[in-house]
Amino acid sequence: MDLSTEDFIAIRNLIYERTGMHFGENKIYYFKKRLQKRMEINQLHKVSEYIKHLKFFDRDNREFQELINLITINETYFFREFSQLQIFAEVCLPEVLEKKRAKSDPNLRIFSAACSSGEEPYTLAIILKEMLEDFHNWNVIIKGVDIDENVINQAQRGIYDSRSVKDVPPPYLEKHFSIPSPGRFMINPEIKNMVVLEHLNLMERRSLRNERHYDFIFCRNMLIYFDEFSRKQLVEKFYAMLNKGGYIFLGHAESLSRISTAFKIRRMNGHLMYQA
Amino acid sequence: MSNKDDFIKNLSSEDERERAFAIEDIVYEEIPEAIDLLIAQLEIESSQFVREVIIRNLRTLSGSELVEKTIPLLHSDDAFIRNAVIEILSEQDELAISFIELLLDNPDKDIRKFAVDILFQLQSPHSAAVIARGLDDPDINIKITAAEYLGRLEARAHIGGINRLFLTSKNLLLRCTCLETMAILGDDESARLVAEFYPQPEQINELELYSYLKYLARQGKEEYLPFVFSLMKSKGKLMAKEIINTIEGILRRSGAVYLPARMVEDLTLYIASEINVINKYELLVFLGHFKNSEIGPLLASYACSAEKLLCLGAVEGLGFLGDPEQLPLLVELKKQIKDDELLEAVEKAIIQLAPVR
Amino acid sequence: MAKKRIIVVDDSEMIRNFHCYILKTAGYKVLSAVDGADALEKIYSSEEPIDMVVTDINMPNMDGYTFIERLREDEQYEEIPIIIISTEDELKDMERGYEAGANIYIVKPTEPEVMVENVRMLME
């Protein structure tokens, strides 16, 4: 299939405007394949026709959402987006901790939205365990929520296969996991106990009203699955949950600017960070 | 105190969260004075977070009361409020069009401009007809905006107005806007006007050239190819995107199977020049659609490039070209490649060159 | 000497492109943004420094005044030259623009030569 640069840019801009997701030019082939799939399903032969369909005829955004589902990678695993976690651990976390120490505030709260089978909240727990020298002085709560009860149950069990742990630094794998059977990895109780898991529908009107004073919220690669309106609604809820100076983390290809301008942008080690 | 009183009290809370929750509750509980309350809060609210909550909640409402009460905010000194109102009104349905159309008679040109913006974003079947009134507005910015939007809406019924404006305009930006809209909507009259206005394309001023190329990309015929190719040397890097789009557009419409010989040579040099990698990728893929004998070896030379996009472009191009002579190269390449995407592209090209019997 | 980089901010695609053409032709490197929030992100994401901002005022999501004020709040961009190019032509709009932190205010539509002259002057 031919996808001219102009059409690639047009679709890329449309996706960016509607979701905040951005793709580099090097993704053109990746895009083409998926676009071709959607075009075949819609029996459209020219990219320009497909773009027109998305702009003028896809009234309830159904086709657009199908395209988004196809171009986003839905897997979850420990230490996903390592470089971002590094900035969290080495820049954002120390900054927040320093302010808390100055105020003698021992509470540290992290929220992991759409945590699925728990890889993200447990990853964050491992990071905190490793980074906090005076760990016992802190009241750490990491809350992971998901609308799918089954994955929450899975997260409660805390047992994973080798695919999930492929990016865990070996020293951490050894320290924080046990191996109940070959190819299975179980998160240690010490880490498990740092995490509270809950079955929750983020879109329920009052679902997060009582969740307050969080220092970090992780909602990576999750907002893209919501429509524009719901996305804004969710980010507003997250803003209300955060302490002043708290951070919200999105997926590396996601940008907050299409959703909310209430957050401050900061650049840290080449990454964009959003602060309440 | 009733719930309603609680909500109203919380609108004055020092905590921006409480104010935000109050706004949501007022709308959710369908408090009759919701619109008035939210608008009043918007005008005094200092928190950007809360302002966004107000706007999002106003957007969930509809009806003539909302339209009538938010229109006056277009006069606000606060740019955020003005632009937020445009957003709110753009969500309204056909009902709003009659209100917005009245704004096109407003003596304030800024209000008229906002009206055109709202009509565009409404994307209603009737928007174009009303926007077209903007082509005759005394303010040039509104003419420009109307011309741009009619193009983006693909409102072919109004090409006559665009043609007329193109012919009579003395302003460069307006003329360029018309030209770019004519690129999308152009009819025979447009083609005649453009040919007459630019009898010698080589003499078109640099700024206008961008828009002219956009016109040629969508409407130009083969006779313009030599001119476009000549630009590769003089404006090749500056206007790479426009030049490539124009060449592709003209050649696709012509249905040509062979490129004029000179052009293969020119494109070979162009690909080797300092244009962006993504442009080179596109040209390599595009070349695969033509059957000139030099194209196979050219693509083969790039198939082994260390730059992934160049390799990819060449491989895809070879797939389109379908020359079985290049099969051994692709088979060899497949053994060496580690990248998943490249591998997939090579395998696909191999299939294209040697279909299963 | 490396080309100076200018970010052009406008919600109109036509105007955004046109201003980019003007500046590219005048020898500058350009990037563009569709509104103030997009511009902030692009400025902060840019690996190379941005040398000047050319921005509209009336834009959805984040207007030009708010954009300029947010940018100026950051020490790193306290001094970055900013030109406003807007259809708003009343004195109060210009005053608002200067208050927000703009250096030059031009009314749309501008002649290309005027834009380039102002850009060159401010760059120096």
Give all domains of chain A, ordered by start, each with its CATH number. Answer: 5-71 (1.10.155), 82-275 (3.40.50.150)
Q: Are C21 and C115 in contact (CB under 8 A)?
A: no
In this predicted model, what pLDDT tens digit does every residue of A230-246 receive, in sequence order?
999 999 999 999 999 99
Min distance C87 CA to chain B CA atoms (Å): 7
Q: Which of B56, B180, B253, B310 to mutate to test the interface with A (most CBs of A within 10 A)?
A: B56
Min distance C49 CA to chain A CA atoms (Å): 13
> What is C5-123's CATH number?
3.40.50.2300
Residue C81 has pLDDT above 80, yes or no: yes
- B52/A236 CB distance under 8 A: yes
Q: What are the Cα distances from residue B222, in Å, to B187, B219, B314, C90? A: 17, 10, 25, 49
- The strand pair at C52-55 and C104-107 is best described as unpaired
B252 and B283 within one domain:
no
- Residue A260 with chain B: CB contacts under 8 Å: 49, 52
* pLDDT at A146 (0 to 100): 93
What mean pLDDT, rounded, does chain C reach? 95
Structure-token match 């007329």, residue found? B164
Q: Closest residue of C to B56, CA-based?
A: C61
* pLDDT at C86 (0 to 100): 95
- C18/B176 CB distance under 8 A: yes
- CB contacts under 8 A, C 16-75 vs B, are 17-18, 21-22, 24-25, 57-66
Q: Are B233 and B227 in contact (CB under 8 A)?
A: no
Share of chain A above pLDDT 90, in %: 70
Share of chain B above pLDDT 70, in %: 99
pLDDT, average across residues A19-33: 86
Q: How would you list the strands of the sheet with C5-9, edge to edge?
A: C29-33, C5-9, C52-55, C82-86, C104-107
B192 and B140 within one domain:
yes
B245 and B323 within one domain:
no
B241 and B280 within one domain:
no
* pLDDT at B124 (0 to 100): 86
- B277/A25 CB distance under 8 A: yes
Nearest Cβ partner for B207 among C22, C60, C62: C22
The residue among A178, A197, A196 whose CA lies nearest residue A188 is A178
B114 and B15 within one domain:
yes
Rounded Cα–Cα distance for residues A239 and A213 (Å): 10
Higher pLDDT, A55 or B25: B25
- Residue A18 with chain C: CB contacts under 8 Å: none
* pLDDT at B3 (0 to 100): 85
Q: How would you list the strands of the sheet with A159-161, edge to edge?
A: A159-161, A184-187, A177-181
* Angle (nearest 5°) at CA C17 between B169 and B73: 80
Amino acid at B7: F
Last residue of a domain, one of B257, B278, B300: B257
DSSP-assigned beta bridge partners for residue A109: A141
Q: Are B296 and B287 in contact (CB under 8 A)?
A: no
What mean pLDDT, rounded, does chain A reach? 92
Torsion on CA atoms A72, A74, A76, A81, rounded to nearest 10:
0
* Residue-by-residue DSSP string for C45-74: H-SSPP-EEEE-S--SSS-HHHHHHHHHHS
pLDDT, average across residues B98-122: 95
pLDDT band at B275 (very low <50, low <70, confident <90, very high): very high
B305 and B163 within one domain:
no
Question: In chain B, how many domains are there?
Answer: 2
Q: Closest residue of A to C43, CA-based?
A: A267
Residue B75 has pLDDT above 80, yes or no: yes
Q: Are B309 and A26 in contact (CB under 8 A)?
A: yes
pLDDT band at B133 (very low <50, low <70, confident <90, very high): very high
In this predicted model, what pLDDT tens digit does every residue of C33-67 receive, in sequence order?
999 999 999 999 999 999 999 999 999 999 999 99
Last residue of a domain, one of B257, B279, B307: B257
Q: Is A9 on the interface with C (CB under 8 A)?
A: no
Range of the domain at B135: 3-257
Q: Which ipTM score applies to this complex?
A: 0.94
* Residue-by-residue DSSP string for B252-269: HHHT-SS--HHHHHHHHH
Nearest Cβ partner for C44 among A17, A258, A272: A272
Rounded Cα–Cα distance for residues A226 and A65 (Å): 8
B-C contacts at Cβ under 8 angstroms: 62
- A261/C34 CB distance under 8 A: no
Rounded Cα–Cα distance for residues B303 and A61 (Å): 39
What mean pLDDT, rounded, does chain B reach? 94
Neighbour tally for A181: CB within 10 Å:
8
In this predicted model, what pLDDT tens digit does every residue of B250-272 receive, in sequence order?
999 999 999 987 999 999 999 99
Rounded Cα–Cα distance for residues A45 and A36 (Å): 9
Last residue of a domain, one of B257, B290, B315: B257
- Residue B180 with chain C: CB contacts under 8 Å: 14
pLDDT, average across residues B284-289: 95
pLDDT, average across residues B242-251: 96
In this predicted model, what pLDDT tens digit does every residue of B316-346 receive, in sequence order?
999 999 999 999 999 999 999 999 999 999 9
B221 and B104 within one domain:
yes
B182 and B160 within one domain:
yes
The CATH number of the domain where B32 resides is what? Answer: 1.25.10.10
Kindly report which listed range (A167-171, B211-215, C88-92) carries the lowest average pLDDT score: C88-92
pLDDT band at B1 (very low <50, low <70, confident <90, very high): low
B237 and B138 within one domain:
yes
Rounded Cα–Cα distance for residues C9 and B10 (Å): 37
In this predicted model, what pLDDT tens digit does every residue of A85-116 receive, in sequence order?
999 999 999 999 999 999 999 999 999 999 99
Nearest Cβ partner for B245 among A6, A56, A239: A6
* pLDDT at A238 (0 to 100): 97
* pLDDT at B356 (0 to 100): 60
pLDDT band at C1 (very low <50, low <70, confident <90, very high): confident
pLDDT, average across residues A195-204: 92
B240 and B280 within one domain:
no
